[in-house]
């Protein structure tokens, strides 16, 4: 017998290589809790070995990895033999293989359609819990299928595992299930590992295995493990007694897998709610698709679903092969992880100026999609994972999440692999790249002129709380940028009515109105102008404090870090950010261009008089049109005196300041009995409280 691409000598050599590799991966995964390859890569190698042994039967040996469940017990844990072997499941990697499973089952039973119990395939660690007369006696890992490791003390710390069953279950019963770690707990654990300078876990399954097999149960107790039961055997049921439970006076012995799961749940054991009894191959396909669509919504990781013939009598008729039952199969999801080669690293600039390194990869299929790019997150991640150009890397794609480089395969690193040097200038506009101490993200400092940030910078600049240019929304800004009419904020003030009319959905009336709004915005208040510049860490409140302190824009521009630190609530990070912004020559050039188009209003004396606390604790609502003040100016005076301006009227409102055409807010104030003041009343209140 021969196989494509192999003669018998080549096949024997390849089989020996595969066995050695798989044994090494088994030892790392099951004994050391340190997986060296992804599940997809492991499955591929095991499938290749199985195919060789089928094509060349003389190559099959009793100690081949294909003839055992997996792994060996750790020598530092007490051995724990199983009453009935804990077997693995055969895999179906696609729909054709699932159909082949159903065909074999129907042929073996001599029926046209089979009833199946469908369950989730958890990505955790298989365990067996021994209960004697309903009391937890021992817990063991699967180990090699016949002998596992005694982890009783650790399992007793898992809160979802009952120490005594809620219903009678006489004799000795071994409950089979999976210990796993939820995603949120995995993230919390890795944060703790990172903070402690310890090694992070590769995935939740690895974390669950490492946590369960601790020699110190106190460590396990801190790690928030969970358990789901999916099977049980009675210790006296015999070597092939999978699925049997003793009956009681109140309950008949389950005859189906679905009945067994319900019995386990009734006894107080956690059983996953996502299970279903279906008919035939169409039912199997429907369950697979249903779970696939909801996979990312689950709080824990799964890597497929499990199909089991529901009736135990039919299971016994079908029997077992060497390492798996004929009556069950694991329908695996497409691999979310794959190996490929890192060809290079590019740096992308986001709309907020964040620089993100992106791996250019040799194209590889992950979760059914060809992936050629993946995120490397930031400079620290590249250093932590020791990623180098030319490395073989493991790439992961989860649902709609951007693919990411999980890890490097160090043993495959070529001699000419190169370290990546992070840029010091923006690859888009050439501005300096800055990174605030304590932050992981590096950013382009050219916020006003960087093409990558252009749309976001313009939208912020024209916003209601910034320059307040009415009529310039997201779609119009996109058109202005995409058509090249506006490159920087200063260019907005050069737009003509004719240019605006050429835009989609802009008639002469709308264009004229927008042109008037632009003209009105030429005299902004200082705090609004500062906020409109989009300086990182400078929000509305900080912009207001800066305006009150410096009074004029020129003074703020010239201020050094020490002067900035004298401003209320401005700390080192904010001060550094402001200086970096004004220190970037390209920003200075754009500011100069802006100052030729607008006249920034200095802060008036009456806005900085008093101690700024006269109206502290008071809540104001502004509504309608005031005679001489805009609502923004009135709000600025209130906030300068320590008051708070809110948008809606409630019983907590101190005053409503109402002008003409006040509307529903005035009605609400009258309904609730909230005092109402006009502009004169506001001025008197400010005078009475010691401000002007």
Q: Are 299 and 187 in contact (CB under 8 A)?
A: no
What is the tens place of the pLDDT at every residue in 259-311?
Answer: 999 999 998 899 999 999 999 999 999 999 999 989 888 999 998 999 999 99
- The residue written with tokens 């708070």 in the block is 644
* Range with the poorest average pLDDT among 63-77, 81-95, 108-122, 449-463: 63-77
- The residue written with tokens 């006249």 in the block is 599
Q: Which has more confidence, 158 or 28?
A: 158
At residue 69 the predicted structure's pLDDT band, cuts being 50, 70 and 90, is very low
Nearest in space to 128 (alpha carbons), one of 103, 106, 152, 95: 152
Nearest in space to 488 (alpha carbons), one of 440, 525, 437, 447: 447
Nearest in space to 349 (alpha carbons), one of 429, 234, 252, 287: 429
Nearest in space to 676 (alpha carbons), one of 634, 668, 648: 668
- Domain assignments of the chain as residue spans, ordered by start: 8-67, 79-332, 337-419, 451-595, 605-688
At residue 346 the predicted structure's pLDDT band, cuts being 50, 70 and 90, is very high
Residues 115-136: b if buried by 16+ CB within 10 A, e if exposed: bbbbbbbbbbbbbbbbbeebeb
Question: What average pLDDT does this structure show over 60-86?
Answer: 67
Q: Are 212 and 179 in contact (CB under 8 A)?
A: yes
What is the tens place of the pLDDT at every residue in 483-533?
Answer: 888 988 999 999 999 999 888 878 889 999 999 999 999 999 898 999 999
Q: Which has more confidence, 676 or 64?
A: 676
At residue 104 the predicted structure's pLDDT band, cuts being 50, 70 and 90, is very high
What is the tens place of the pLDDT at every residue in 636-668?
Answer: 788 777 788 888 899 899 999 999 888 888 989
CATH number for the segment(s) 337-419:
2.40.50.140
Q: What is the mean pLDDT of the chain?
A: 85
Class of domain 79-332: alpha beta
- The residue written with tokens 């590799």 in the block is 21
Q: Is residue 652 flagged as an active site residue?
A: no
Q: Are 84 and 239 in contact (CB under 8 A)?
A: yes
CATH number for the segment(s) 451-595:
1.10.150.20
Q: Among residues of the chain, what percentage have pLDDT more than 70?
A: 90
Question: What average pLDDT does this structure show over 158-186?
Answer: 88
Instruction: Please give the Cα distance from 245 to 169 (Å, whole number).
Output: 8
Q: Are 477 and 462 in contact (CB under 8 A)?
A: yes
H or E segment to which residue 162 belongs:
none
Question: What average pLDDT does this structure show over 553-563?
Answer: 94
Secondary structure (DSSP) of 422-442: PPSB-TTT-PBEE--TT-S--
Instruction: Please give the Cα distance from 319 to 117 (Å, whole number).
Output: 17
The region that residue 356 occupies, defined by phi over 0 for left and psi between -120 and 50 for alpha, beta otherwise, is beta
- For residue 215, is pLDDT > 70? yes
Fold of 605-688: Rossmann fold (3.40.50)
Nearest in space to 432 (alpha carbons), one of 446, 421, 419, 420: 446
Q: Are 435 and 407 in contact (CB under 8 A)?
A: no
Q: Catalytic one among 121, 308, 332, 665?
A: 121
Mode of pairing for the β-strands spanning 328-332 and 90-92: parallel
Question: What average pLDDT does this structure show over 528-554?
Answer: 90
CATH number for the segment(s) 8-67:
1.10.287.610
At residue 357 the predicted structure's pLDDT band, cuts being 50, 70 and 90, is very high
Q: Are 279 and 115 in contact (CB under 8 A)?
A: yes
Instruction: Please give the Cα distance from 458 to 453 (Å, whole number).
Output: 9
Q: Which has more confidence, 42 or 510?
A: 510
Q: Which has more confidence, 206 or 106?
A: 106
Alpha helices in 521-584 (DSSP H): 526-532, 540-550, 553-558, 561-564, 572-583
Instruction: Please give the Cα distance from 358 to 339 (Å, whole number).
Output: 16
């Amino acid at each position: 017998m021969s196989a494509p691409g192999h003669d018998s000598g080549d096949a024997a050599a390849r089989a020996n290589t595969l066995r050695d590799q798989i044994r090494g991966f088994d030892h790392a995964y099951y004994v050391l809790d340190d997986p060296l390859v992804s599940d997809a890569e492991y499955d591929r190698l095991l499938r290749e070995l199985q195919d060789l042994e089928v094509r060349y039967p003389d190559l099959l040996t009793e100690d081949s990895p294909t003839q055992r469940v997996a792994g060996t017990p750790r020598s530092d844990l007490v051995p724990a033999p199983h009453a009935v072997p804990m077997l693995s499941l055969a895999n179906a990697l696609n729909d054709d293989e699932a159909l082949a499973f159903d065909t074999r089952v129907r042929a073996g039973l001599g029926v046209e359609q089979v009833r199946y119990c469908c369950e989730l395939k958890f990505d955790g660690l298989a365990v067996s819990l021994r209960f004697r007369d309903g009391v937890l006696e021992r817990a063991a890992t699967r180990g090699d299928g016949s002998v596992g490791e005694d982890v009783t003390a650790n399992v007793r710390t898992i809160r979802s595992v009952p120490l005594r069953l809620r219903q009678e279950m006489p004799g000795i019963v071994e409950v089979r299930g999976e210990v796993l770690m939820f995603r949120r707990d995995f993230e919390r654990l890795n944060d703790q590992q990172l903070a402690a300078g310890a090694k992070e876990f590769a995935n939740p399954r690895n974390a669950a295995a490492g946590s369960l097999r601790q020699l110190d149960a106190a460590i396990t107790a801190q790690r928030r493990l969970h358990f789901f039961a999916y099977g049980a055997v009675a210790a006296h049921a015999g070597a092939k007694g999978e699925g049997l439970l003793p009956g009681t006076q109140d309950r008949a012995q389950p005859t189906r897998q679905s009945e067994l799961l319900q019995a386990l749940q009734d006894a107080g054991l956690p059983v996953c709610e996502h299970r279903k009894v279906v008919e035939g191959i169409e039912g199997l396909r429907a369950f697979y698709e249903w779970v696939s669509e909801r996979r990312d919504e689950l709080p824990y990781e799964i890597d497929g679903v499990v199909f089991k013939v529901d009736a135990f009598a039919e299971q016994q008729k079908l029997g077992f092969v060497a390492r798996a039952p004929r009556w069950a199969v694991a329908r695996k999801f497409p691999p979310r992880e794959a190996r490929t080669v890192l060809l290079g690293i590019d740096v992308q600039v986001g709309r907020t100026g964040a620089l993100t390194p992106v791996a250019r990869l040799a194209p590889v299929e992950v979760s059914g999609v060809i992936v050629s790019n993946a995120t490397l997150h930031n400079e620290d991640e590249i250093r932590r994972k020791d990623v180098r150009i030319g490395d073989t890397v493991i790439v992961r794609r989860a649902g709609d999440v951007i693919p990411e480089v999980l890890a490097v395969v160090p043993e495959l690193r070529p001699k000419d692999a190169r370290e990546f040097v992070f840029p010091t200038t923006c690859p888009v506009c050439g501005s300096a790249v800055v990174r605030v101490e304590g932050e992981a993200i590096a950013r382009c400092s050219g916020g006003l002129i960087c093409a990558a940030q252009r749309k976001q910078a313009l939208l912020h600049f024209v916003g209601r709380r910034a320059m307040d240019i009415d009529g310039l929304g997201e779609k119009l800004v996109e058109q202005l940028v995409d058509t090249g009419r506006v490159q920087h904020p200063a260019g907005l003030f050069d737009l003509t009515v004719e240019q605006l009319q050429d835009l989609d959905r802009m008639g002469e009336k709308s264009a004229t109105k927008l042109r008037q709004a632009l003209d009105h915005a030429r005299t902004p208040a200082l705090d609004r102008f500062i906020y409109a510049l989009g300086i990182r860490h400078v929000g509305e409140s900080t912009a207001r404090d800066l305006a009150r302190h410096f009074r004029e824009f020129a003074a703020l521009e010239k201020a050094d870090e020490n002067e900035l630190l004298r401003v209320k609530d401005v700390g080192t990070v904010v001060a550094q950010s402001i200086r970096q912004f004004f220190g970037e020559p390209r920003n200075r050039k754009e500011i100069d261009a802006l100052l030729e188009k607008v006249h920034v209003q200095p802060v008036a004396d009456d806005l900085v008089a008093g101690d700024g606390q006269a109206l502290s604790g008071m809540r104001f609502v502004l509504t309608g049109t005031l005679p001489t003040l805009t609502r923004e100016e009135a709000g600025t005076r209130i906030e300068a005196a320590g008051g708070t301006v809110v948008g809606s009227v409630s019983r907590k409102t101190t005053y409503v300041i109402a002008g003409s055409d006040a509307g529903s807010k005035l009605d609400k104030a009258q309904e609730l009995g909230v005092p109402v003041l006009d502009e004169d009343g506001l001025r008197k209140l400010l005078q009475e409280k010691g401000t002007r």
